[in-house]
Amino acid sequence: MKDLTQGSPGKLILYFAFPMLIGNVFQQLYNVVDSAVVGKFIGEKALAAVGASFPIFYVLIALIIGVASGNMVIISQYYGAKMMDKVKQAIDTFYITVFAASIFISVFGIYFSEDIFRLMDLPEELMADATLYLNIFLAGVVAMFGYNSTSSILRGLGDSKTPLYFLIISSILNVVFDLLFVLVFHWGIAGVAWATVLSQAIAFIVGTIYLNKKHEVIRISLKTITFDKEIFIKSLKLGLPSGFQQLFVALGMMALYKIVNPFGTEVIAAYSVAGRLDGFAVMPAMNLTAALTTFVGQNIGANKIDRVKEGLYVTLAYSVAISLFFTIIILLWGEDIMYLFTSDAGVVAIGYKYLQIVGYFYFTFSIMFSFLGVFRGAGDTLIPMVITLFSMWLFSGRYLLAGFLDFLRLLFISKWDDGKTNPLFSKFFKQIFLYSI
């Protein structure tokens, strides 16, 4: 466990964020491997199906992600105040909450998965693969929540190294299972889903055994686990605004996929791959923000407000610098990177156009993340929720704006760069007309 109330804020945040960054590189790496294996060895349709499944899964787990962030703040504040009994109670309450929520999400998601895909206008040719992939993922959500909850708790206690070890185990297993299930057993898209579920389940089991034997605070035992109603209510007050923020983001992603899906398999696949690369680019800023949230929580718990300001300034400097670096990478080599996932030139061209647009704005995301991290660490999760609501939606603003801007692009630029007529023009005109009535 790491005490973040003493020492240089810049070094502490960087050192604390670095294991999380390496860990998320591994996590993104196995997401990338998933997409590469699907795109290269299964096909474009399977790649599109995997991509279309993610926003639905994100919507289903968004609220519990928020509650988890609220609980992490509670744990970090109790730990900063050296209230170890409260830390233990908060951990137990969190595990019980997550387990109950995961059961509900699994049952609800599997029952309604196909209906949700139809609501998103997913092409019929992708329906079977997308539903199969999502249902396997949902069946294993208990293991996923258990694994990620343990990592979240450890970070709240100032330990970002141990979650890294668990993540490395999970990532390596996922790559091995991907190749085994797809190339050897020929399970197709189901094999990719099972690879992720099994790798996280094994990492959770290994992590639980290790922590019960080695960790001084965390003990996961059904015999001694207790539920604290007051801590639960407090975690809801802190976490639900963040959860609704996550939900707005997830619903925004679903809305954008509803725009993308009528374009067909090629565009869905391109958007999915570009989204993976997009996640890589914003990942460092998100990790630094997570470190800042824990730093702020501990220092507010210790009543060291001046250190909170210092932490914010150094996090802004780190985040902006790294974001500009990724902007350069995406703009110069984005097309070559796209070819790692698929050999389809059409998919690559569409995905690279997307990256060229969003790449210019990574630094603005990093600034926003840093400020939101301070609010969350201070326990004020309502303001981040309102900011996300305004920036992502203004309820449906982003959804309508995306459609309107693409309509204008197609209206005034009806040809691709190679001079061929854009085949999406008439179809998209029809879609915009239908959405406007």
Q: Which residues contact 173 (CB under 8 A, 6 or more apart)?
A: 195, 198, 199, 202, 203
For helices 84-119 and 141-156, the axis angle rounded to 10 degrees is 140
CB 74 within 8 A of CB 238: yes
- Please state, for a pLDDT cut of 70, what percent of the chain lies above it: 86
- Residue 419: what pLDDT? 44
CB 353 within 8 A of CB 328: no
**Poorest-confidence range of 180-184, 258-262, 277-281, 397-401?**
397-401
- pTM for this entry: 0.74
Report d(CA 99, CA 141) in Å as an integer. Answer: 9
Q: Is 82 left (phi over 0), alpha (psi -120 to 50) or beta?
A: left
Q: Is the pLDDT of residue 356 over 80?
A: yes
In Å, how far are 117, 150, 167, 251, 306 from 172, measured between CA atoms?
Answer: 31, 19, 9, 31, 41
Is 421 in a helix, a strand, or coil?
Answer: strand
Q: Is the pLDDT of residue 379 over 90?
A: no
DSSP characters for 359-384? GGGHHHHHHHHHHHHHHHHTT--HHH
Q: Is the pLDDT of residue 135 over 90?
A: yes
Domain boundaries, the chain: 9-395
Is 222 in a helix, a strand, or coil?
Answer: coil
Q: Which residues contact 81 (CB under 8 A, 6 or more apart)?
A: 301, 302
For residue 421, the cross-strand partners are 415
102: nearest Cα among 134, 149, 69: 149
- Residue 313: what pLDDT? 92
CB 215 within 8 A of CB 207: no
Report d(CA 406, CA 425) in Å as an integer. Answer: 10
Q: Write the DSSP symbol of residue 263.
A: G
Is 416 in a helix, a strand, or coil?
Answer: coil
Question: Tell me: the pLDDT tens digits for 32-74?
Answer: 788 888 988 898 899 899 989 988 988 888 888 777 777 777 8
Report d(CA 204, CA 91) in Å as an integer. Answer: 16
Question: Tell me: the pLDDT tens digits for 137-167?
Answer: 999 999 888 888 888 777 767 777 788 888 8
- Tell me the pLDDT band of 332, cut-offs 50, 70 and 90: very high
**Poorest-confidence range of 124-138, 231-245, 260-274, 321-335?**
231-245
For residue 33, the cross-strand partners are none
CB 262 within 8 A of CB 342: no
